[in-house]
Structures are given as C-alpha cells and as structure tokens.
Amino acid sequence: MVLGALTKDRFTLKNPLLSDDTKATLEALSSIGTDVDVRPGGQIRLTCPELKAPRGVIDVRNSGTTIRLMSGIASLLDTPITLTGDASLIRRPMAPLVDALDQLGASCSYIGQSGSPPLRIKGPVTKAEAEIDGGVSSQFISSLLVTCTQKRSATKLRVKGRIASRPYVDITLKMLAQFGARIDEGPAGFDMQGSQKLQGDAYTIPGDYSSAAFMLAAGAVTDGTVTVRQLDAETAQGDEAILGHLRCFGAKVSRTAHTVTVSGGRLVGTDIDVGDTPDLFPVLAVVGAVAEGKTVLSGGVNLKAKESDRIVTTTKFLQDMGARIRPMEDGCEIIGVPKLEGAAVDTRGDHRILMAATVAAMVSGTETVIKDEESFKVSYPGFIRDLHQLGCRVEVRK
C-alpha cells in the first residue's frame, strides 16, 4: 500500500487483505493525499500525485507496522504531523526509529511518555547518515529503507548488532527492488541514493504464512488434516518456517507450488529459535504443550514489546489450560502433556494470543472461553469463518 502510493501514479493492489491493520494503513495514506478506491472483486486502487500534510492527527489504531512506516513518510514533509494509536499501541517502542529520524534531520517529539506514541514529526529529512540498533524491531529498518529512497539526498544507514526478525527486512528489500529502487547492503548497513522513482502499476498480495500458521498447527495438534491454498513456495516470508517447525514436531507436511497440507501425527518436543519469526511463538508453544517430552522456544528477545508481552500472555493461558510451561527471558520451556483443559483466557487484546488459544482449545477436554471476541480482525478477519470450515465449534458472544 505504501509503495504503491509512492509511485505517484495509479496503482492497483490485487488480492489485498482488508483487516483492521490494513484499513488503518489505507486511512493514514488517505490523510496524506492518497485517493483510495476499494473496488468490488477484491482490488484496491491508489493514486497519490504528491504527499500532503494531513488536516488532523493520524490515528493508526492498533497497527504498529502502520505507525512505523508512516513515521518515516511523515519525515519527508515540512509540516508537523502527529501520529497516535490505541491504548495498546501507545505502549510500544518507537525510540530507535525516532532517534534515527532525528539524526537524518527531522524534528521529533513525544507528546506522552518518552519513547512511545503519540509523537509529532516534522521533516524534511536532509542529512546523510544515521545509526540504529537493529535488535528492537525490523519495522524500524523497513521504515527507514522506504523513507531514505524518497528523501532528496543519499543516505548511509548503519545498523548496530543483529537485525531482529530479519526476514521482514528481506521482504522490504525484495519489494523495493521490484518497484525499481536500488539499495546496497554491506557489513555495516545500507547505502542508497535519494529521490528514487518507484515504478509499477499493480502488485498481487501473496498468501500470508503468519495467519496460515494457526490453521496448519490445528491440523497438527488435532491429528486432523488441514490444507491451506495460495501459499507460494517461493517466498521471502520468514514465517514459512512454520512448515519446518511442524515437521520437527512430527507432523506430516506436504506442499505443491501454492498449497500446503498438514496432518497430525505423534508429536515430540523440539528446540526452536524464534528470533527471526516471533509471531509464531504463541502457536508453537501450543504445539509444544501437547508434544511428548521437552520443547524449548528461545531467541524471542523482542516478544515483550508486541501487542502484549507475549511471553507472559502465552505462558499464562497455557498454564491455566494445564500445560507444563515456564517462561524464560527470551521464550519458554515446555514439558508436553497428553491433553489440555478448558479455561477462561485473557488475551490482553492480542490477536495472536486469541488465535493461539483457539488452537489450544481444540485439544482441551472442556469448554474454553476466550475473553476477546474481535481482536483477530486486526490481522485475520476470516478466522472464525475458516474455523467453521474445518469443523470447529465456535460461538461468538457479544
């Protein structure tokens, strides 16, 4: 959506996801001069001849990706722009990105708590070099890569340490290249020229492994069979790793060029580093909870800075369901049990906790009540519909 708007020509998105997060992105783009036309048949047309300062505050609701991408875009304009979000989002970290934008010449300030939204940004960014810690969020790096191809002058972006969730940066680099941008990566970071013209008239959105992971894991833990279509075999998505992880647990996984099928089997514990794929942590913990022996999930140092502290929320709901799980600083350790028990689950408004708890409920002996009837709409609005297709009994109570 952002890259399409930055082409400054009419741009068509095919097969788009219209979830709460992507609607927040469309609204943010609309506020800075993008004409958005959601068309019948599953297409979105975007036209943004030039970026304009919004008339009011940009409210991204619960979307961390949106506020981080839009913070970079805001730094291209010479008018102060205020960005905010909901109660969950204003607790999420922004300092590394804001500091880098300051180094590039933007004027940034926090309106509330230092280091978190809401914040005010005034550009334009004109300086030639910035340094950022890569270990907090890949979204900061993605935002800077997009922004620095559009600022007028060249940029050296230096990255300290290992980049968290590196596959998401790889997706950004691949997409920028598809849109005609050139970015050179070296041992110290990234170099890019400014004023790069992004080109393209259409882009087809591929299937999302992050969302598919919940349905595929359901096939593994229930000893059933689940097939998910429109999952490309050739992809930069890091969460494709769910296929290898389920194989390591003992599930049967097969695929074609665009389809993945998972069948249950004898599940055994395994060790998994979730550093590159933190969004898989909650559902992998569910699989580990019913796998024989010990499972260790580690490397998730940034799990505490998601929509909830996912180490805390995941271990809490699984403990309540009878799992033998203990939290670690960067993940958890689990000793599998044959079956879970139903419980009352507090998701803390986190969509991935809701969906993981639903998968756990499929292998529990009694009813599970999840105290959250809608956060799945953030990323997977068809979640309940797809559960019904698989034969799961789900009742939504308002």
The string of pLDDT tens digits covering residues 145-187 is: 999 999 999 999 999 999 999 999 999 999 999 999 999 999 9
Looking at the fold, whether 223 and 192 belong to one and the same domain comes out as no
- Per-residue pLDDT band at 99 (split at 50, 70, 90): very high
Residues 234 and 171 placed together within one structural domain of the fold: no
Q: Please tell me whether residues 158 and 282 are part of one structural domain.
A: no
41 falls in which pLDDT band (50, 70, 90)? confident
* Active-site position among 239, 279, 320, 350: 279
Residue 122: inside a domain = yes
Q: At what angle do helices 351-361 and 310-320 cross, to 10 degrees?
A: 20
Same domain, 185 and 223: no
The two structure tokens encoding residue 148: 């620095």
Q: Is residue 125 part of a domain?
A: yes
pLDDT for the residue numbered 44: 97
Residue 393 has pLDDT above 90, yes or no: no
pLDDT given for residue 365 in this prediction: 87
In a domain, 394, yes or no: no
What percentage of the chain reaches a pLDDT higher than 70? Answer: 100
Mean pLDDT over residues 9-31, rounded?
96
Q: Say whether 86 is catalytic.
A: no
Question: Does 230 lie in the same domain as 370?
Answer: yes
398 within some domain = no
Total domain count, the chain: 2
Do 30 and 73 sit in the same domain of this protein? yes
**Distance in angstroms (rounded) separating the CA atoms of residues 394 and 43:** 30
Same-domain pairing of 381 and 298: yes
Q: Is the pLDDT of residue 40 over 90?
A: no
* Tens digit of each residue's pLDDT (9 = 90 or more) over 362-378: 999 899 999 998 999 99
Close Cβ partners of 131 (under 8 Å, ≥ 6 residues apart): 100, 103, 157, 158, 159, 160, 189
**Are 147 and 107 in a shared domain?**
yes
Q: Which pLDDT tens digit goes with each residue over 185-239?
A: 999 999 999 999 999 999 999 999 999 999 999 999 998 999 999 999 999 999 9
CATH number of the CATH domain containing 300: 3.65.10.10
Residue 398 pLDDT exceeds 80: no
Averaged confidence pLDDT in the chain:
96
Same domain for 375 and 300?
Answer: yes
pLDDT reported for residue 396? 86
Tell whether 196 and 214 lie within a shared domain: no
Q: Which of 204, 221, 246 is the last residue of a domain?
A: 204
Q: Which range marks the domain in which residue 277 is found? A: 209-389
- State residue 382's pLDDT score: 96
The reply to whether 121 and 19 lie within a common domain is yes
As a whole number, mean pLDDT of residues 354-363 equals 97
Q: Are residues 192 and 268 in the same domain?
A: no
Q: What is the pTM of this model?
A: 0.93
Condensed to tens digits (0 to 9), the pLDDT of residues 292-337 reads: 999 999 999 899 989 999 999 999 999 999 999 999 999 999 999 9
Question: Per mean pLDDT, which range of 18-22, 37-41, 264-268 is the poorest?
Answer: 37-41
Band (395; pLDDT cuts 50, 70, 90): confident
